Structure 1
């Protein structure tokens, strides 16, 4: 009998601080075949408050995990709550793909959230944006080991620029001339043995 490998269920996570541009990357790269679990979307559809929407999203993620079904979600990842979820998923045999979106300065995030609010979007208090930015970036080095594939994009300028990539146990970095040197990327990721990526390898891709 032919022995066919069984494809692992996949989790695709779009992570990063408020105002970094996760939704832009999500719209570009979200796989259409996976259920998309997003608390903001749940809140709009069900017309509920943000706490209820967050709880519904959490329950849906847990249900997918229990049933070994793949899914896609967004998270600020400023606490270890979803890190623990990803660890359990990894232990259960899920394939984990992450797109992490950040900026080089939290004031960029503050300005973008203000712009979003003026266009009718949801607000996040400035002090929370800044505190979550610092907490989220401090957890990146804990996130990477759980990921089979991880892309980190700086979205400070006009378009996302990939500064780091992990695939299985190989790592690459793409320094950006003004904002991210190799030592900055090492400090962020905790990975000191990444190879320099070829030119033009910084573009948005899966």
Structure 2
């Protein structure tokens, strides 16, 4: 079966870091499409200046892998609805879609993590954009993406080790590992 993995979460949630281990070592997926990494390749000293071109190249690569029927993964904040139709089309074309949502306990933690990343040479994102993407990503997870993917895992990546909060496996079963926290999140965003 063809597999599509979506690594999602707000800026600073640890998507890229988690992907470098989870995808090749646990899921056996070696094609990972990441606009931030593409931008670094285009402009190593100022990757944010290449973000639009990197986004275009990312979409081109996703569509190429899809048209070849290959297993692949990509990363997104889910802050927009843009991948909805693509996921539906992928499922119609025989892809099994798994979404990993890396959650942080607050937008402030996301901001602090991005600030740390910048100090270590990574790319910057304005605070208001981080906050908007944090809330929009959660809202879109529940309203748009959670209902259409085959399986998902909602992971608290605020500390170490991470904690699996809830998951849906085999298209139907929702397993709550931390019911109190899951209820609080769903009450706010669902």
CA-based RMSD: 1.9
2-side partners of 1:182 and 1:125: how far apart?
28
Stretch moving more, 107-116 or 88-97: 88-97
Pairing of 1:2-151 with structure 2 (within 5 A): 8-31=1-24, 32-47=28-43, 49-141=50-142, 142-151=144-153
The equivalent of 1:199 in structure 2 is none
Deviation at 1:34, TM superposition (A): 3.3
| Greater relative contact order (Cα < 8 A, sep 6+) | 2
Relative to its length, the structure with more helix (as a share) is 2
Structure 2 SS opposite 1:61: helix
Instruction: Tell which structure's C-alpha radius of gyration is larger.
Output: 1
2-side partners of 1:90 and 1:35: how far apart?
18
| Unpaired stretches in structure 1, ≥5 consecutive residues | 1-7, 191-206
Stretch moving more, 180-189 or 111-120: 180-189
2-side partners of 1:163 and 1:130: how far apart?
22
Q: Is the 8 A contact 1:37 1:57 kept in 2?
A: yes
Count of matched residue pairs: 180
Q: Is the 8 A contact 1:151 1:166 kept in 2?
A: yes
1-side partners of 2:34 and 2:16: how far apart?
10
Q: 1:155 aligns with which of 150, 154, 157?
A: 157
Name the TM-score, length of structure 2 as normaliser.
Answer: 0.87
| Alignment CA distance shift 1:30-1:188 (3 Å) | farther
